[in-house]
Amino acid sequence: VAATLLGHTQQIGYGPLVHSLCGVNLKKSDSFTDWSRRPLSDSQLEYAADDVVYLPKMYRIMRERLEAKGRLSWLDNDFAAMADPANYVSDASERFRRLKRVGQLNRRQLSAAREVACWRELTAQDRNVPRKWVLTDEQVVEACRRESRTIDELFMVRGVREKLCTRDARAVAAALVRGLDAPVEKWPELDKCLKSEPNVDAELDLMEAIVRLRAKENDIAMQTLASHGDLAKVARGYREGVDVLRGWRRAIVGEELLDLLAGRITLSLGPAGLVVTKMGS
Q: Read off the pLDDT of residues 26-69 as tens digits, 9 standing for 90 and up.
A: 887 777 888 889 999 999 999 999 989 999 999 999 999 999 99
As a whole number, mean pLDDT of residues 223-248 equals 93
* Residue 249 banded pLDDT, cuts 50, 70, 90: very high
What is 92-186's CATH number, 1.20.1250.20, 1.10.150.80, 1.10.540.10, 1.10.357.10?
Answer: 1.10.150.80
| Residue 190, pLDDT score | 83
Q: Is the domain defined by 197-278 classed in CATH 1.10.540.10? A: no
68-114 per-position pLDDT tens digit: 999 999 999 999 999 999 888 889 999 999 898 898 999 999 999 99
- Output the pLDDT for position 30: 75
pLDDT at 49 (0 to 100) = 93
Terminal Cα-to-Cα distance of the chain (whole angstroms): 36
pLDDT for residue 175 is more than 80: yes
pLDDT digits (tens, 9 = 90+) for 143-165: 999 999 999 999 999 999 999 99
Average pLDDT, the chain: 93
Model confidence band, residue 11 (pLDDT cutoffs 50, 70, 90): confident
Domain boundaries, the chain: 3-86, 92-186, 197-278
Tell me the pLDDT band of 195, cut-offs 50, 70 and 90: low
CA 131-101-90 angle, to 5 degrees, is 40
Q: Please report, rounded to a whole number, the percentage of residues in the chain having pLDDT higher than 70.
A: 97
Mean pLDDT over 236-241 rounds to 89
Q: Over 90: is that where the pLDDT of 196 sits?
A: no
Task: Report the CATH superfamily, name and number, of domain 3-86.
Answer: Ribonuclease H-like superfamily/Ribonuclease H (3.30.420.10)
Q: Give the least confident one: 7-16, 31-40, 83-92, 196-205.
A: 196-205
CA angle 222, 98, 223 (to 5 degrees): 5
Do 197-278 and 3-86 have the same topology in CATH? no
Q: Distance of alpha carbon 24 from its chain centroid, rounded?
A: 31
Share of the chain above pLDDT 90, in %: 80
Residue-wise over 54-64: b if at least 16 C-beta within 10 A, else e? beeebeeebee
